[in-house]
Structure 1
């Protein structure tokens, strides 16, 4: 049985294909269209999934959509009715879009699918799943657990904003939910907006900014905005927000509470902004910890699965892990709406069709999240030649050795290997790599390669067998979704003068022997690299370790600010020639910047809209 899952029409549209319960392929539309967070129907992603499975669209038994549009429209109407006459402008803006594109989505989806198979009556093959159930399914079914509590937290689905489900075997049952407008995801997005970052894109910037500040405003948030209960449930005072009725996230009342209007995009960041970021991060962590502690005490369950956009808050995830309320946690790597496509497909297979779930043992079913396109060596060489690239083709062993040497020499390396990752993180398939021992590398990569804010941290990729030697973590973290402290033995002593520094000034002081991946609070967003799921990346880090004594690399996504992660060899070469990346390795093709035709260099910095 083949089931195609689809998420679309809000943000991060995606497609996923499962065959007899096995995940065959999954990808976001943005990677093909080159439009960040592309919300359009994922026609390109669907074509890829079909090609990866070697099937035609007519061979698909069901297409599962990740939410229920009519229920979502009910929430829209009820919200506007409740707040009327406020919000008429927002309502007048939203209604035509709903009537044209969203309300009659069954017909729209059937029409779009006709382009893939014109003679199929797609309406009879379409299934719709509730948004939070799609999220929950994306986390539980691929997890290694036979049973688990599933906590989903995001902005809003149809009505749910936070939900609890319980999974056992092939059964997944929703138990309860918090409903719109009381939303942890929207609370965090409101402060993303207030600190001058883009909603549904800049939340991870807010999380990265938080360690530069102090949570001075946490009590202000809890005293005035969030009514937080002991079990983690909460209500938000809507007078501080404008997302129900307006075209912005926050109200004048919140602006007065925090002493000024929202920061303008690209405006200078001040210590006040950093303290606000630290404060909302602290409140978010407290809410998540109260929720997970209460669920563990109530259910007695040992395993926890997390999904929804809030599950990408890896700092909060790390605190849940260290809290030990649950023995084991597993987080869907595509925790946001893209993962809903996968969840809807799995739900259709196990729930609608009643198919059993295969035993997983200790491993999950995501295949390391390497579910996107790959390219043969001959295809890579042809594509690079068409781009005018100058490259040397090496053997497997020579490729690993030359790349490890370049990294040890301090060169920034574009690394394009195997299948593309599904989800927002580059995990060694489409990555920019560098030496973490360099004190200058963090700043260099941000300003000269990624063209983004200097405060943004980078993640370490570490060999799984060495993770406990370098970080306060001895768990699998293959999807870069857990934050842990750098181990004390690798930390550097800081002076009283260093400790007295504030804000961005703290960035200039190395805090460990791997400063390029050590955040200002001594933490790191860890990816463990496993020989079983990515042998080539494991081999590269092992070669770097043998050369330097360090089993860690800087790993950041292969793109510039505002650009989707590269998908094709041509995308990688364009990014290589438009940035200060010094080496590009695609398959066994090794390219050095100084060998290239300089006429092919381009101004890449302003090519994409800022995120």
Structure 2
């Protein structure tokens, strides 16, 4: 049986294909169209999934969509009525789109599917799951747990903004929900907007900015914006927000409370913005801790699964793990709306059709490292590079690893394009840019000369799984880079009195540990543990780098520049390589040096994509 899962028409459209409940392929549409957060019907992702399975569209038994448009429309109408006459401008803007397209989304989907297989009665094969149930399914069914509590947290689905469910075997039961407009995701996004970052993409920046500041506004947030109960449930004071009725996240009353208008994207970041980031991060962590502790009490279970956009807050996830309310925590690597495509398909397979669930062997999850996207043969790679005029060598496996490890040890930045593309927002050694974590200048070099992004943003380490506990305070795996842990005390460097007195962005260039390029100003790091079974080539590279340097870590950031989707195919990688300060590139077994390339192939890559 083949089930195609789809999420689309909001942001981060994606497709996933199951064969008898096993994930064949999954990918976001943005990777193919090169449009960040592309919301369109995921035609290219669907075609990829079908090709990966070696089937055509008429072979698909069911198509599962990740939410219920009529319920979402019901929420929209009820909200406008509740707040009328405020919000007419927003109502006037939204209604034509809904009445023209989204209200008849089933017909729109059937039309797209009919373009792929016109002889099929797609109306009889369409299934719709609720948004947060899709999130919950994406978290529980691929997890390594026979039973678990499942917590979902995001902006909003139809009505729900968070949910608690229990998964047992192939069954998933929702116990309770919080409803719009009371949303932890939208609260965090309000501060993302206020700090001058884009909603639905800049939340990472706010999280990265938080350690530079102090939570001096946390009291104001708790006093005026949100009423939090002991069990983590809460209500927002909507007098300060504009997202129900307006075209902005916050209103003048919010701006007055926090000392001025929202920062414009081109304006400098100040200590005030850093303190605001630290404050909302602290409040978010407090709410998540209360929610998980209550979930543990309610369910009596020892394992927890997380999904929804808020579950990408890896700083909070690390604190949940250390809190110990649950012994084990598993976070869906595509926790945002893209993962809804996977959740919709799994929910249809297990929940709607009642198919049994089989756990993966040896305590593993069933995501296969989240390497679920396209891969390319060496013949395809060579043909693509030759057509673009690239100069390259094709090396054997051992020579490629040895050459790249030596380059990295020499301080060079390397593009690393290997195997299948990752599903989700993190690069995990399939589509990565790598560097030496021991170098003090590596963070600044990667941010300013390669990623073309803000200098304050931290980088994550990939570390050999067997060596992680020697470098970080963590006793669990973190294969998907969704847990933050502190660098161990014996790996830290002593701080001088002047360095210790620095605050704000001035803290950036102080070496705090033996691995300064991946040590944030609060000694934290967003860890990816790498094992030989899941990604043998990346594990081999880390092993060789350790042999050369004694350090079993590499800086790992996504293979793209600011505002660009992560690269998908070899041509994307070569163009990014030629437009940035990367020194070397490994695509499959093809090895390229920048110095050997025709300078005429370089491009102004910094301005090729709109800032995120």
Q: Normalising to structure 1: TM-score of the pair?
A: 1.00
1:560-601 per-residue CA deviation (whole Å, 9 max, x = no partner) reads 000000000000000000000010100000000000000101
- 1:67 equivalent to 2:60? Answer no
Find the counterpart in structure 2 of residue 522 from structure 1. Answer: 523
The 8 Å contact of residues 359 and 365 in structure 2, kept in 1 or not, is answered as: no
Find the counterpart in structure 2 of residue 356 from structure 1. Answer: 356
2: CA distance, partners of 1:298 / 1:449: 48
CA drift at 1:191 = 0.3
The 8 Å contact of residues 321 and 328 in structure 1, kept in 2 or not, is answered as: yes
1:142-193 per-residue CA deviation (whole Å, 9 max, x = no partner) reads 0000000000000000000010010000000111100000000000000000
CA drift at 1:491 = 0.4
The 8 Å contact of residues 425 and 479 in structure 1, kept in 2 or not, is answered as: yes
Which aligned pairs between 1:106-185 and structure 2 lie closer than 5 A? 106-185=106-185
- 1:210 equivalent to 2:210? Answer yes
1:341-379 per-residue CA deviation (whole Å, 9 max, x = no partner) reads 000000100011110001234100000000000000011
Find the counterpart in structure 2 of residue 259 from structure 1. Answer: 259
Find the counterpart in structure 2 of residue 469 from structure 1. Answer: 470
Find the counterpart in structure 2 of residue 453 from structure 1. Answer: 454
Find the counterpart in structure 1 of residue 319 from structure 2. Answer: 319
What secondary structure does 1:508 align onto? coil
Query: 497-506 or 554-563, which moves further after superposition?
Result: 497-506
2: CA distance, partners of 1:87 / 1:288: 31
Which aligned pairs between 1:222-301 and structure 2 lie closer than 5 A? 222-301=222-301
What secondary structure does 1:156 align onto? coil
2: CA distance, partners of 1:371 / 1:100: 34
What secondary structure does 1:115 align onto? helix
Q: Which runs of 5+ in 2 are unaligned?
A: none
What secondary structure does 1:165 align onto? strand
2: CA distance, partners of 1:438 / 1:116: 51
Find the counterpart in structure 2 of residue 496 from structure 1. Answer: 497
Find the counterpart in structure 2 of residue 100 from structure 1. Answer: 100
1: CA distance, partners of 2:268 / 2:167: 46
Find the counterpart in structure 1 of residue 310 from structure 2. Answer: 310
CA drift at 1:496 = 2.0
Moved beyond 3 Å, runs of 4+: none
Query: 301-310 or 495-504, which moves further after superposition?
Result: 495-504
2: CA distance, partners of 1:99 / 1:372: 35
1:1-43 per-residue CA deviation (whole Å, 9 max, x = no partner) reads 1100000000000000010110110000000000000000000
Q: Which runs of 5+ in 1 are unaligned?
A: none
What secondary structure does 2:508 align onto? helix
Find the counterpart in structure 2 of residue 342 from structure 1. Answer: 342
The 8 Å contact of residues 145 and 360 in structure 1, kept in 2 or not, is answered as: no
2: CA distance, partners of 1:85 / 1:121: 43
1: CA distance, partners of 2:421 / 2:266: 31
What secondary structure does 2:462 align onto? strand
The 8 Å contact of residues 166 and 299 in structure 2, kept in 1 or not, is answered as: no
2: CA distance, partners of 1:6 / 1:343: 9
2: CA distance, partners of 1:4 / 1:419: 19
The 8 Å contact of residues 197 and 203 in structure 2, kept in 1 or not, is answered as: yes
2: CA distance, partners of 1:298 / 1:126: 35
The 8 Å contact of residues 50 and 56 in structure 1, kept in 2 or not, is answered as: yes
What secondary structure does 2:366 align onto? coil
1:22-70 per-residue CA deviation (whole Å, 9 max, x = no partner) reads 0110000000000000000000000000000000000000000000000
Which aligned pairs between 1:396-407 and structure 2 lie closer than 5 A? 396-407=397-408
2: CA distance, partners of 1:72 / 1:530: 42
- 1:562 equivalent to 2:558? Answer no
What secondary structure does 2:466 align onto? helix
Find the counterpart in structure 2 of residue 602 from structure 1. Answer: 603
CA drift at 1:114 = 1.2
What secondary structure does 2:493 align onto? coil
2: CA distance, partners of 1:50 / 1:324: 42
CA drift at 1:266 = 2.4
1:194-247 per-residue CA deviation (whole Å, 9 max, x = no partner) reads 000000000000000000000000011001101011111000000100000000
The 8 Å contact of residues 359 and 366 in structure 2, kept in 1 or not, is answered as: no
Find the counterpart in structure 1 of residue 51 from structure 2. Answer: 51
2: CA distance, partners of 1:583 / 1:201: 29
Which aligned pairs between 1:387-426 and structure 2 lie closer than 5 A? 387-426=388-427
- Superposed CA RMSD in Å reads 0.5
Find the counterpart in structure 2 of residue 85 from structure 1. Answer: 85
What secondary structure does 1:103 align onto? helix
1:269-321 per-residue CA deviation (whole Å, 9 max, x = no partner) reads 00000000000000000000011011112221100000000000000000000
Query: 496-505 or 533-542, which moves further after superposition?
Result: 496-505
Find the counterpart in structure 1 of residue 19 from structure 2. Answer: 19
1: CA distance, partners of 2:79 / 2:6: 27
Find the counterpart in structure 1 of residue 539 from structure 2. Answer: 538
1: CA distance, partners of 2:375 / 2:133: 31
What secondary structure does 2:49 align onto? helix
Find the counterpart in structure 1 of residue 10 from structure 2. Answer: 10
1: CA distance, partners of 2:266 / 2:481: 27
The 8 Å contact of residues 461 and 527 in structure 1, kept in 2 or not, is answered as: yes
1:408-433 per-residue CA deviation (whole Å, 9 max, x = no partner) reads 01100000000000000000000000
Aligned positions, number: 611
What secondary structure does 1:605 align onto? helix
2: CA distance, partners of 1:248 / 1:257: 16
1:520-544 per-residue CA deviation (whole Å, 9 max, x = no partner) reads 1000000000111100000000000
What secondary structure does 1:120 align onto? coil
2: CA distance, partners of 1:431 / 1:123: 41
Find the counterpart in structure 2 of residue 196 from structure 1. Answer: 196
The 8 Å contact of residues 578 and 605 in structure 1, kept in 2 or not, is answered as: yes
Find the counterpart in structure 2 of residue 369 from structure 1. Answer: 370
CA drift at 1:116 = 1.2
What secondary structure does 1:230 align onto? coil
1:423-453 per-residue CA deviation (whole Å, 9 max, x = no partner) reads 0000000000000000000000000000000
